[in-house]
Structure 1
């Protein structure tokens, strides 16, 4: 859906909601009308949200002195109330007047929405569940297991927040409305591209499949944002202070010093979004991040008895169905031991060699 089509869709919903709100304030709805209205409200969460917003605003208007008799009753009381004989009755006989009132109602609601914070749409997935989400502008998001996404769209901006987990974004180009993904303090800004964002309690990882993005994070002590630009096939990582302070394995590492929050320099990205096809692919990632990912797919769970081993670096590729076999063989890749409990849970510890 293009941005123009999305705006037209919002206008259509506003018009339909205003019709039902004004009609209910004019007279008692018949049984068939109530069924039709309730079916419309249930057909789309946006219908219900807009109807509630318009109803509240209409009630606020009606509460003004001299207009109290215009207020519709609470929805739950509508079926039991007597027919209303308000001064709005004339609108039923004058369609142009009704349309004008509906337009005023929509305008008042639009202004009220501009003056209050945008209520986010919230999407969540359970363990081992993925979900494809189509956003109002036609962009698509594939939400990984055990992940949460909040969406706030307006005419001048497209903002989403990944509050946990991982998501792959396919963003529709719209230069007039930049698309921004928030993950903790990190900001990923894009105009049109395909990219992956992974947010754990240890780090934020961003990898680009197509197009370009800019990853920004606040500097320490209120310093300006520090940004790293990524092109197709590149990735970056923002580590949190606690993770950056953990000991790391010998060899190349893009970890930052404790307390730093600048995105790491770009590096090659192996198969961004491969998890959508049931494959987990890692190139020199921290064990703690790999374990966080695995625990979104594997119900018995994997824990690290010694948190210090979380800084060990791992390069691997395996199917989601192969998680138990991979964890069992991990001691052949890095200096850890993996012990499996009867329920299938794994506990990792530092190997003493």
Structure 2
């Protein structure tokens, strides 16, 4: 092994070590400062640390993977031997990053064979997958794709995506979202992950959402038909809405570069608009926050939305190339934007 390879391996091991400490919740303020110094000392340090964070997420997604589990005994043995030499065995079994440390050193990131697709703020992207399925990503989104013999596994890490699934009963299509799974065979559905909340909407076919209960048993949360959906907290899927009717025109508006507001609070509507642009719209004060807005607007047409706010609420608009300020009117605002 070359000196460069040894150095890269050392950085990767150190990054995994730091993440293990951080996830264990036992880091002191002094150790946190040392971590930050280490991250800033070399760009490779931060890159390795971020890669380890991604690996940590994948250990949850892939914990039932038969190929991975077949190699775990040897992986754990190697990890334990290395940590005993360093006197850090006390962390083994105490934090979820134990498996991460082993995989980062023994298998490396390439083991997962996950291909990532992502978009920046304001961007959208259509991806044709190898099985004939189609993936469409909304603004600021990231999806991983990993195909196995028995399953097509996808991982929504952030944002929103629409899935049009090619039928293949022998290889279920499963979208993993922070511990829950959205399952389909041949169908079309939308999944959004925002502020630790998950929203699933079905446009075609049948989709089921599952998660594990406190005993680690898989439990079905909802089974939905077209025009139905479910909403739940990402970290507590059991806290869900149950199957509810969905306005599909609103849910899928982003696919035609539009934003659909249906009696939304103005503050919430502006927050939704801001997801699509770096030129942020800022609502100044609380006077207009609870006003209700309905209508369909083109994504990226900030001037059009600002004009509508002027006309409907009497809002005062102050704008430049970087932001748009929305101020309360000098007199009382109109009641609502006409549909």
TM range (shorter): 0.5 to 0.7
| TM-score, normalised via structure 1 length | 0.51
Which residue of 158, 168, 181 maps to 2:162? 168
Is 2:224 aligned against 1:230? Answer: yes
Which residue of 316, 319, 323 maps to 1:345? 323
Match of 2:248 in 1: 270
Provide the secondary structure at the position in 2 that maps to 1:174: coil
Decide whether aligned partners of structure 1 residues 231 and 330 sit closer, same or farther in structure 2, where only a CA change above 3 A counts. farther
Provide the secondary structure at the position in 1 that maps to 2:304: helix
Match of 1:212 in 2: 206
1:328–1:338 contact (8 Å) kept in structure 2? no
| Structure 2 alignment gaps of length 5 or more | 1-105, 333-339
RMSD: 4.2
**1:1-353 paired onto structure 2 within 5 Å:** 118-217=112-211, 225=219, 227-239=221-233, 261-271=239-249, 272-283=251-262, 290-291=269-270, 293-303=272-282, 315-326=294-305, 329=308, 340-346=318-324
Whole-Å separation in 1 of the counterparts to 2:291 and 2:179: 25
Provide the secondary structure at the position in 1 that maps to 2:305: helix
| Structure 1 alignment gaps of length 5 or more | 1-111, 242-257
1:98-124 alpha-carbon deviations (Å, 9 max, x no partner) = xxxxxxxxxxxxxx99xx952310111
Structure of higher CA gyration radius: 1
| TM-score, normalised via structure 2 length | 0.53
Tell me how many residue pairs correspond in the alignment: 223
2:173–2:185 contact (8 Å) kept in structure 1? yes
Whole-Å separation in 1 of the counterparts to 2:158 and 2:129: 19
1:259-289 alpha-carbon deviations (Å, 9 max, x no partner) = 9632443113232423221222244667776
